[in-house]
Chains A and B, each alone.
Chain A
Amino acid sequence: MNGHIGWTCTINQALLQAKIKPKYDRLERYKRSVDRVILLVYSDRTWNSGMLLLDNPPPSVELRGFDKIYLYLHPETAVEIGV
């Protein structure tokens, strides 16, 4: 049988915040070289480690100086999550 199974989990705000926090801390440094910085949080759903599900509506995160923050679940979904 040529099939695949794997566990999934839903993307929540806590998971996103934990991932994004170090990026907030480095933003000031990035802005020395460019005025606008966009953060792209991505996950590859074709791999077991990236089997994440997105709620509707998706969770949002604070921009805190980023121009925009996007979430991209490769290859199907891309949404803006920064507010």
Chain B
Amino acid sequence: MNHKKKNERFYLNNFFEKMGLLAHIDRDGNDSDEPDFFVNLDGNKVGFELTQLFKSISGNGSADKKCEMYHHKFLSRLADAYYEISYLPIEVQLLGTIVSNQSEDLNNLARRMFETAKQLDEGKIRILKSISVKQFISFGFQVHSQVIDDGHG
């Protein structure tokens, strides 16, 4: 299933829940002459067509959305690189905008994150106040990572 369909399924199922509708998706429509989904709604077959609204749309689509997609992909790739080498779960937030040609190599960044996560885990570095945040500063972007409390400590 492609990324767009997966997203649309998520929003459609949440919409059903929000509206309290007794509905389930029977199958995806094809992308040419069918609606996005065929749904069983209260026992009736209904087509659902979805379209996403953005606050700013230019001729080439939403610039905000493109930027968010880029960031989403960047964080996914970073997570892959991090969990290749680390056993410590962390939560990462991206603040600001990534300038692609100024980004540090993902594997280097993942290694630095893992080193810091280990130090946090072993109690080697002190965490300010109650928020376990360590800041990584790289070429043009910052990543704040937070160690998730697993309930054992």
Q: Which residues of A contact B (CB under 8 A)?
A: 2, 7-9, 11, 15-16, 18-20, 23, 26, 29-44, 47-52, 67, 70-72, 74-75, 77-78
Q: Which residues of B contact A (CB under 8 A)?
A: 11-12, 14-15, 18-19, 29, 33-35, 38, 44-57, 62, 64-65, 68, 93, 131
Alpha-carbon separation in the docked complex, A21 to B64 (Å): 22
Looking at the complex, which one of B11, B35, B53 makes contact with A19 (CB distance below 8 Å)? Answer: B53
Looking at the complex, which one of A20, A34, A50, A70 makes contact with B35 (CB distance below 8 Å)? Answer: A34
Alpha-carbon separation in the docked complex, A19 to B51 (Å): 8
Query: Judging by beta carbons under 8 Å apart, are B15 and A70 in contact?
Result: yes
Alpha-carbon separation in the docked complex, A42 to B38 (Å): 18
The binding surface of chain B is classed by DSSP as: mixed
Write out the residue numbers on chain A whose beta carbons fall within 8 Å of the beta carbon of B49: 23, 26, 30, 37-40
Q: With A42-B52, A43-B53, A43-B54 in contact, is A34–B46 under 8 Å at CB?
A: yes
Query: Judging by beta carbons under 8 Å apart, are A8 and B53 in contact?
Result: no
Alpha-carbon separation in the docked complex, A66 to B56 (Å): 25
Distance in angstroms from B79 CB to nearest chain A CB is 18
27 contacts between A and B (CB under 8 A): A2-B131, A7-B55, A8-B55, A19-B53, A19-B57, A20-B51, A23-B51, A31-B47, A33-B34, A34-B47, A36-B44, A36-B47, A37-B49, A38-B47, A39-B49, A40-B49, A42-B52, A47-B64, A49-B55, A49-B56, A49-B65, A50-B55, A52-B55, A70-B19, A71-B53, A72-B15, A74-B14
